[in-house]
Amino acid sequence: MSDTHYAEKTHAQAGASAFVDVPSPADFPDSPASRAFAQPLMLGLFLPIQAGGWSASTLPRTTDWSFDYNADLVLKAEALGFDMVFALSQWLPKGGYGGVFNGEALDSFMTLAALTARTERIILVATSHVLYGPWHPLHFAKFTATLDHISRGRWGINVVTGHRAIEHEMFGWNRIEHNRRYDMAAEFVDAVQQLWGQPDNFSFTPELSGWRLNSAFVTPKPRYGRPLLINATGSDAGIDFAARYSDVVFITSPAGPQIDRALEALTAHAARVKAAAAARGRKVRTLLNPLVVCRETPAEARAYRDAIVAHADEGSFHRFDSDAHAWRGGIEDRSQAASRAVGGNVSIVGSPEEVADYIVRLHKAGIDGVQLSFFDFKPDLDFFGERVLPLLREAGLRP
């Protein structure tokens, strides 16, 4: 059953206009998405638009949440040939999670929107909580189609339903049950996709959400069917959502952030995600977020990692992580605390040769792309470009 037929069946009783097929940008050989997907390994950068970046450590570094800092990173990534950049979205009360995660942050959508006119080739992927108060599907479809037009098809959306109660409460309501969030997000994305693809006015009344569309229309239409759609998930409901809608699925290691354990678990996990999409007649790519700690020698890299951990800002990640009981002492708990100080879904620590080898092994495990983050973004990205990227080219993973 195609996605469109699924949507028709799901919403036929809701008084929707007739649904039309909306192609993926991957269906157009000349689209930016197709160019990225043609790479043996997609390469991206996970921007630090929030205070603390991805690492709960007070070790001095340049990493900064400001627009100018992140714009420089995007331009550098583009110059290095990266395929895409991401930015997160968060809604936090005053003080954030405390410590280095003090809540200072740019908005993902607005930050990357501003960069559509300052970049030429790289895909810009903004994280959007599609269920939170401000968004109506008509606004969302119009804004994203406009950005897709400005960027010449380089706009992407990381669709997020939101899981932290504190964020939901900021918008004046209680946290929605997990699976229901995905059902509501499906209604939202169905409506938005139709607004992108419909040649005529479109009407739609959802079953679960408070908005509705009555003879709505959006122009301009996206350049290549629609923008790139991505979501991050590991749950059954999230994987089903990804199988129906996403072009790329942001996965995490089921075995935790230690790279060797992650490699053991990721093959089956990535295969499961891809099989779910294949069962619906679709193809998805998997993306992982490693935080790279790289220095000229293994000893230097491990010393750098140890310094990051020695300056761990434990107060910040006690609040950041909903499972705060995990940080109450013991060998395993100390290991988890160290992982939080370093950051990333998995951490890769080593010399350029070791880092490149781990990335090659991730690719062999079924990972189609890596969305890199660093502790000290500017110098670490420079070093990665100078010393690791040539090794990935030698391995046949990058042009």
Distance CA 339, CA 100 (A): 16
Task: Round to whole Å and give the CA distance between 248 and 242.
Answer: 8
pLDDT of residue 318: 53
> What is residue 136's predicted lDDT score, i.e. its pLDDT?
95
The tally of CA atoms less than 13 A away on the side-chain side of residue 320 is 24
Q: What is the pTM of this model?
A: 0.92
Which three-class secondary structure state does DSSP give residue 269? helix
Region of 172 on the Ramachandran plot (φ > 0 left; ψ -120 to 50 alpha; else beta): left
Q: Which pLDDT score, from 0 to 100, does residue 134 have?
A: 67
Report the distance separating Cα 137 and Cα 190, nearest Å. 9
Residues 48 and 40 sit within 8 Å (Cβ to Cβ): no
pLDDT at residue number 332: 40
Architecture of domain 3-394: Alpha-Beta Barrel (3.20)
Which DSSP string corresponds to 90-111?
A: ----TTTTBTTB-S-B--HHHH
The helix (H) or strand (E) run that includes residue 127 is strand 123-129
Q: How would you write the pLDDT of the chain (399 residues) with one tens digit per residue?
A: 334 433 444 444 345 689 999 999 999 999 999 999 999 999 999 999 999 999 999 999 999 999 999 999 999 999 999 999 999 998 888 999 899 999 999 999 999 999 999 999 999 999 999 998 668 999 999 999 999 999 999 999 999 998 777 787 888 878 888 899 999 999 999 999 999 999 999 999 999 988 999 999 999 999 999 999 999 998 999 999 999 999 999 999 999 899 999 999 999 999 999 999 999 999 999 999 999 999 999 999 999 999 999 999 977 755 555 433 332 233 344 456 678 899 988 999 999 999 999 999 999 999 999 999 999 999 999 999 999 999 999 999 999
Amino acid identity of residue 27, one-letter, is D
Q: In the 8-state DSSP scheme, what is residue 387?
A: I
Cβ-proximal residues to 283 (8 Å cutoff; 6+ apart), any chain: 26, 274, 277
**Cα(387)–Cα(294) distance, integer angstroms:** 9
CA-CA distance, 285 to 272, in Å (whole number)?
12
Q: Is 172 exposed, middle or buried (0-12, 13-18, 19+ CB in 10 A)?
A: exposed
> How far, in Å, CA of 107 to CA of 135, rounded?
14
Angle between helices 259-278 and 236-245 (to 10 degrees): 50
Helix axes 3-11, 236-245, angle to 10 degrees: 110
